[in-house]
Amino acid sequence: MAFPRPKPTTVETLAMERANPPFNVRKLSIKMHGSEKALVLKEKFMAEIARHPAFKLSDIHDLSKDELRERTMEKFASMVYFVTNESLEVFTLRMQLIGIADPSFWTRFGVAYGLFLGALRSGATPNQLSYWIDRGVLGLNGVIGCFAMTELAHGSNVAGLETTATFDRETDEFIIHTPHLGATKWWIGGAASTATHAAVFAQMIVDGKQYGVKTFVTQLRDTKTFQLLPGVTIGDIGKKMGRDGIDNGYIQFTYVRVPRAHMLMKHTQVSRDGVVTEPPLAQLTYGALLGGRTSMVTDSSNSAKKALTIAVRYAAVRRQFAIGTNQLETQILDYPIHQRRLMPLVAQAIAIGFTGLKLTKMYEDMTQSLDTMDPSDLKETHATSAGLKAFCTWACLDTIDKCRQSCGGHGYSAYSNFPTMYADFAVQCTWEGDNTILSLQAGRSLVGAWGAAIKGKRLVSGVAYLNDRSILTAKSDSSLTLSDIKRAWNCVAANVIKKAAEEYVSHLKAGKSKEVAMEMCSQSRFIAAKVHTVGYIFTMFKEAVNEMEDSAETEVLRTVAKLYGLWQIEEQQGYFLKYGFFTAEQIDKVQTSVDALCAEIRVIAVPLVDAFALSDHILNSPLGRYDGSVYESYFSQVQAANPLPKEHPYFTRLIKPLLERQNVEMEDPEQVMGLDNELEEMEAERREATKGKEGKVRKEDY
């Protein structure tokens, strides 16, 4: 007897799921990618890396940290080519795709290309910038930079950094110094084994006076020999939760001298005589932060879509338990609870995807008109993006783990790719601002917006609903349409923002400082940010759908939007009941509707995730194979990754002595136990007390 497979096979089952979808998969895919060209480019990038040896993915789970580091560096060469030959837009799309395939590389490259270069762009004078460009900073030929901001004892509080840069008038140099262990530069990506230079953030001291944190380009290594320069101590900070392809390091400077001209002087200048000229206003770096957050929103959607493609395809082919007298076991995706586990997350990933597209557009427009914008508009967008970064990255991390759990035991295998995805993604909730702290920033801005609204100021679109005070007491028209859902979110968001603002004011009235009053209403600020952000995502999605012409694909997205909005209402139902937008009966109806929408989307689940357009190479998970051959692919990969050793590595040393040992101790336990009297007494008591229980079974067994 060979190994017959049950019928229909997993491959046949997945083909059946794709038969006659009620919409055109490619058309839907184009909508989700923003344009046909973006999709075509993505397919091109996917094809390129699938064939590039450095981008091999199937073996990454079994590579050591050192092997991952080296593999990651191999990708550099293939990318510097594109960075110097593609338009920024195309290259951005390329990196966006690479970011889903290999987050480690994305970061390692991004440190040199994005962060270091970004520091130069935002901080250098035109002459300084061209100096560094001449040195090769753009093509990474001559200079590979890293971004030395965070320290062992300071992360969020950049103004509190303790590395010093003391001006030496005699030599026209700055002396970069790490005064104590806590001031060691820490987490510096690229420092351990890639970078030749660093943008060092340090407290500038001129004539004994401290001027705050400025940036100093400091050479770390000789570019010919890669030897560390005198006074520079660098170490590897080693294993991380994920992204081990990045060589994060620590740097200690011991009186390292850099020319005065290596201080970036676009804003603050220091003259040959040590005269410090400071800008009239602290420069706003909203733009730079916005770019990072926008890309993290998009990445949250893409990473969630990757996990969901795997989980949905697996759920479609995995069969477990037969219902009634069926011969064939049921596809787990047919269980209502499994639909409940995955369909809302699919809707959320799509909603965040459309939010990412809108945000990218907004960011592009903003970059263009940065100088002419109303600063308060910019501030509002900045705050909204803080909340989006926080709640979108949380949503994605949660999605990855829920997808893992939905695949049962196989989700725990490294080869499912969920473990690596989770570990790699987890840092997104922490870097570029801890999510909780960012949420509070968003909440602070909402409290401010409420204050402005009650003073009659017309607010920008994201918070414009606060201008209409009647929204506070709105009620559902029971229709649960997209409009009804939007009003629901606006109503509830306005109420929780109002609550936070009123708490803040009451603390002020009680004599607290603004700072302390803000801290005291933290929880309410957090809630305000959470509710506003979900409402914002829903609104972005709804707007995107409203802008589309009617079509089968638009209809699908409308259903998905409805599921997202109603499911989130269910998740946060307390606020909707508390502020009276929905009655208890209507909330029951929301639950029933979510059940029904999950069942409705389940029918098209496989073509829907197909429209995410992620190749098998990117998914890198046999469980999510496009063709459905999950068990065969999984088995092959496990075999390939785990060849049988010629000899058992430790049988003779460890197992054989166990198997062959005589249990002499058993003959005279007293002699060998050596517990003190009290413990023996206790055990005797316990033995007595447990007569006739498990212990007895064991005694009798001898």
Residues 618, 100 contacting (CB under 8 angstroms): yes
**Which among 32, 100, 35, 34 has a CA at the least distance from the CA of 561?**
32
Instruction: Compute the distance between CA of residue 614 and CA of residue 100 in angstroms, rounded to an integer.
Output: 10
- For residue 550, give the DSSP letter: S
273 belongs to the binding site for a copy of itself (CB under 8 A): no
**Interface with a copy of itself in residues 436-465 (CB under 8 A):** 436, 440
Interacting span for a copy of itself (CB under 8 A) from 176-184, 261-269, 485-493, 546-554: 176-184
In one letter, which amino acid is 312? Answer: V
Phi, psi values for residue 595, rounded to 5°? -55, -50
**What is the C-alpha to C-alpha distance for residues 386 and 436, in angstroms, rounded to an integer?**
10
Phi first, then psi: what are they for 251, rounded to 5°? -135, 130
| Residue (283 or 523) nearer to a copy of itself, CB | 523
Q: Which of 432, 555, 600, 632 is catalytic?
A: 432
Neighbours of 681 (CB within 10 A): 11
- Nearest approach in angstroms of CB 236 to a copy of itself is 4
Q: How far is the CB of 457 from a copy of itself (least distance, A)?
A: 28
**Does 189 belong to an annotated binding site?**
yes
Binding piece for a copy of itself, criterion CB under 8 A, among 256-264, 331-339, 352-360, 379-387: 331-339
Q: Which of 250, 317, 387 is nearest to 626 (CA)?
A: 317
Stretch that binds a copy of itself, among 148-156, 351-359, 477-485, 613-621 (CB under 8 A): 148-156
Site pattern 83..122 for a copy of itself (x: CB under 8 A): -xxxxxxx------------------------------x-
**Cβ closest to a copy of itself, residue 184 vs residue 309:** 184
Q: Which are the contacts of 244, defined by CB distance < 8 A and separation ≥ 6?
A: 65, 68, 69, 104
Q: Does 677 bind a copy of itself (CB under 8 A)?
A: no
Is there binding between residue 81 and a copy of itself (CB under 8 A)? yes
Residue 684 CB, shortest distance to a copy of itself, in Å, is 9
- Binding residue for a copy of itself, selected from 430, 467, 593, 615, defined by CB under 8 A: 430
Could you tell me the smallest distance in angstroms from the CB atom of residue 599 to a copy of itself? 10
Q: What is the 3-state secondary structure (H, E, C) of 186-232?
A: EEECCCCCCCCEEEEEEEEEECCEEEEEEEEEEECECCCCCCECCCE
Q: Residue 670 contacts by C-beta under 8 Å, 6 or more apart in sequence? A: none
Sign of the dihedral through C-alpha 201, 205, 211, 217:
negative
Position 506: which residue type?
Answer: S
Stretch that binds a copy of itself, among 275-283, 347-355, 450-458, 636-644 (CB under 8 A): 636-644
Interatomic CA distance for residues 396 and 99, integer angstroms = 14
> Least CB distance from residue 323 to a copy of itself, whole Å?
6
For residue 380, the minimal CB distance to a copy of itself (Å) is: 21
155 binds a copy of itself (CB under 8 A): yes
Q: Give the C-alpha separation, 219 to 176, whole Å.
A: 11
Kindly state the smallest distance separating residue 408's Cβ from a copy of itself, in Å: 5
Q: Establish if 340 lies at the interface with a copy of itself (CB under 8 A).
A: yes
Among 190-198, 269-277, 455-463, 544-552, which window interacts with a copy of itself (CB under 8 A)?
Answer: 190-198
Q: Is 3 in the site for a copy of itself (CB under 8 A)?
A: yes
Q: Is 181 among the residues that bind a copy of itself (CB under 8 A)? A: yes
* 61 touches a copy of itself (CB under 8 A): yes
CA dist 508 and 451 (Å) reads: 13
The verdict on whether 432 is a catalytic residue reads yes
Does 552 interact with a copy of itself (rule: CB under 8 A)? no
Residues in Cβ contact with 695 at an 8 Å cutoff, skipping those fewer than 6 apart: 687
Interaction between residue 66 and a copy of itself (CB under 8 A): yes
692 annotated ligand binder = no
As a whole number of angstroms, the distance between CA 369 and CA 362 comes to 11
**Residue 77 binds a copy of itself, judged by CB under 8 A:** yes
The pattern of x and - marking residues 499 through 538 that bind a copy of itself according to CB under 8 A reads x-------------x-xx--xx-xxx-x------------
Catalytic residues: 432
Numbered residues of the known binding site for FAD: 150, 189
